[in-house]
Amino acid sequence: MTADLPAVDPASASRFVAATGLEVGEVSGTRVTGSVQVGPEHHTPWGVVHGGLYCAVVESAASIGASVAVADSGQFAVGVNNTTDFIRSMTEGRLEVVAEPVQQGRTQQLWQVLITRAGDGKLVARGQVRLQNIRRPGARGAHTSGSAGSR
């Protein structure tokens, strides 16, 4: 990773991201792994893990990998579309997360993320995130006026 990127610590990113409980393991521009320990704090009123948790974990893992992939060019990546399928319900336990790119282009990337049960490897959720590569503010050659999305 480059020194220009913030440390990959989802717990310090925001309260929202910290609430997912995502613990990042391996990080590169072609693979991100991690885990989440789910329990009652992640439940819907009906006692199963909320689908929004899976969406947030999918987006976080894909964003980390995609941002690392373009960091050396003075960019980071932001999600522009997230499609997450919920395959089976969970109430508690450890989940494993693996994110890998499907396509990495100059302006956009497409990442796939699989979330499986740690005990038996069964698929719990899968997601696909399209990300836009944008210049980091202040990066050499970065556009300095207006928002990143206005170019």
Handedness of CA 6, 62, 60, 81 (dihedral sign): positive
Q: Return d(Cα 57, Cα 35) in angstroms, integer.
A: 9
DSSP 65: H
**How far apart, in whole angstroms, are the C-alpha atoms of residue 137 and residue 139?**
6
Torsion angles phi and psi, residue 135, rounded to 5: -70, 140
Which listed residue (23, 26, 59, 100) is catalytic?
59
Q: What is the largest CA-CA distance in the chain?
A: 51
Structure tokens at 42: 């992640």
Does the annotation count 59 as an active-site position? yes
Among the listed residues 50, 47, 59, the one whose alpha carbon sits nearest the alpha carbon of residue 22: 59
Residues labelled catalytic:
59
